[in-house]
Structure 1
Amino acid sequence: MSHSPLRLVIFDVDGTLVDSQAHIVAAMDAAYGGLGMQPPPRETVLSIVGLSLPVAMAQLSPELDTEAQEALVEGYKNSFSSLRSTGAPEQMSPLYPGAREVIDALLARDDVLVGIATGKSRRGLDHLLAAHGLTGAFVTEQVADHHPSKPHPSMVLTALAETGVEARDAVMIGDTSFDMEMGRAARVRTLGVSWGYHPTETLTRAGAGAIVDRYADLPAAIERIWES
């Protein structure tokens, strides 16, 4: 009797597990305001969520020199941190409805490992997981500090290496084209979620294997992807 392979489910964080848009937009407004500049529109800011900060700032303000872009990065980090200390993290970045139940169900399975691949910093992720009582829940946690920005496949490849799971037995779940492109570049399955920061047609164009509209539909969608 052959055993089913060990499988890995990798979650993006912002826009996938947690709705951090209020926190992100407020920090971005403060970063630009601190330099006496007009911040980009909300939709533009949300379109770069998932990218590492230096890459994000270069996309938001390509006309600025490197020094000014670096000042924006520092301003954003400082604003994000101070906002986190003044507001309850679970309110600033709440879990999406149904996320906890799906994570708990996946964690309870013997044949599935659960990981994270995020554009957040190590410090930012640690704060968030602690706020939601999820410290230590994920077997592999890939953060922006140690990798090139998404959509480079480094985060997913490292997660595979750390867990020993084959690419064909892993799935990347995210809300942006960066997540889908990263997953495809690492040769893992991809699953898009419609409640995040990129429109579903963007996810489809980026190669999402399937798209779900609510967390309750995620477990069945994962099974279908592995069966295909």
Structure 2
Amino acid sequence: MTVGRLRLIIFDVDGTLVDSQSDILAAMGQAFAQERLPVPDKASVLGIVGLSLPEALLRLAPQSADDARARMVAGYKDAYMSLRAKAGVAQSSPFYPGARDMLHRLQAVPELLLGVATGKSRRGLDKLIEGHALEGMFVTRQVSDHHPSKPHPSMIEAALAETGVAPEDAVMVGDTVFDMEMAKAADIRMIAVSWGYHPPEALAGADASIDRFDDLPDRLNAMWGTRI
């Protein structure tokens, strides 16, 4: 790797680094139940993970009035916070195998910068980072509070601006079509993970894919001509 040339790896969170599906499904079930609406099936709920909550509820409950969806957003947040507080972050959002070790391995490379782009709120991401002792891991944190929902490229554009990294030196690592479309809209490359919330065949348009975190350095080396 050319000394001093920075590269940026932007990670999605839920479905990529951690598996929060148990609490996501439970919280969404409570949000729908409070409005006496049929609870969407598992595939439908996991299919919207990564979107901002208002956009997610618009897709899951398109016939509901705006005020009802607003209550569901609030109900989801309250339920999710309660579930996480009861179980703790490590149990509520456990790392996928190899995720923590890979983050530390990549962070140890001076020319690599790590970031996240997530549909979580700032509060939710901060709690997850605190609970997993990841303070200082990510130099840029893009959350739903400050951006349009994925797949709008705003999160990636902000991450590039904050770090000063050129699009050709950045890559998105994620598990959903929203991540892939966001990366393409921002003109950066995309590495799809096979273990997340969208089926691998839906991510066939990604630049590369991995079945385990140990595969990630090889994919990055192939993209950038580096040795990680």
Instruction: Using structure 2 for the length normalisation, give the TM-score.
Output: 0.96
What does residue 132 of structure 1 align with?
Answer: 132
Kindly report structure 1 stretches of 4+ aligned residues shifted beyond 3 Å.
Answer: none
d(CA) in 1 for partners of 2:65 and 2:223?
Answer: 44
What does residue 207 of structure 2 align with?
Answer: 209
d(CA) in 1 for partners of 2:224 and 2:37?
Answer: 48
d(CA) in 2 for partners of 1:223 and 1:61?
Answer: 43
Unaligned residue ranges in structure 2 (runs of 5+): none
Q: Deviations over 1:182-206 (max 9, x none)?
A: 01110111100000000111111xx
**Number of corresponding residues:** 225
| Residues 112-127 of structure 1: pairs in structure 2 closer than 5 A | 112-127=112-127
| Post-superposition offset of 1:5 | 2.1
d(CA) in 1 for partners of 2:25 and 2:221?
Answer: 35
| Post-superposition offset of 1:225 | 2.0
| Residues 36-47 of structure 1: pairs in structure 2 closer than 5 A | 36-47=36-47
| Post-superposition offset of 1:227 | 3.5
| Residues 23-172 of structure 1: pairs in structure 2 closer than 5 A | 23-172=23-172
| Contact 2:3–2:111 (Cα < 8 Å) also in 1 | no
d(CA) in 1 for partners of 2:208 and 2:4?
Answer: 23
Which amino acid in 1 is paired with 2:114? V
| Post-superposition offset of 1:4 | 6.0
d(CA) in 1 for partners of 2:89 and 2:167?
Answer: 33
| Contact 2:6–2:113 (Cα < 8 Å) also in 1 | yes
Which amino acid in 1 is paired with 2:112? V
Identity %: 55
Which amino acid in 1 is paired with 2:167? A
Which amino acid in 2 is paired with 1:148? P
| Post-superposition offset of 1:34 | 1.5
d(CA) in 1 for partners of 2:177 and 2:5?
Answer: 28
What does residue 174 of structure 1 align with?
Answer: 174
Q: Deviations over 1:150-200 (max 9, x none)?
A: 000000000000000000000000000000110111011110000000011
d(CA) in 2 for partners of 1:225 and 1:26?
Answer: 39
Q: Deviations over 1:51-108 (max 9, x none)?
A: 0000000000111111111111111011011111111111011010000111001100
Instruction: Using structure 1 for the length normalisation, give the TM-score.
Output: 0.96
SS of alignment partner, residue 5 of structure 1? coil
| Post-superposition offset of 1:138 | 0.4
d(CA) in 2 for partners of 1:179 and 1:4?
Answer: 28
8-17 or 128-137, larger mean C-alpha shift: 128-137
| Post-superposition offset of 1:31 | 0.8
d(CA) in 2 for partners of 1:174 and 1:212?
Answer: 10
Which amino acid in 1 is paired with 2:213? Y
What does residue 8 of structure 1 align with?
Answer: 8
Which amino acid in 1 is paired with 2:155? M
d(CA) in 2 for partners of 1:213 and 1:95?
Answer: 15
SS of alignment partner, residue 114 of structure 2? strand
| Contact 2:148–2:154 (Cα < 8 Å) also in 1 | yes
SS of alignment partner, residue 172 of structure 1? strand
Which amino acid in 2 is paired with 1:224? A
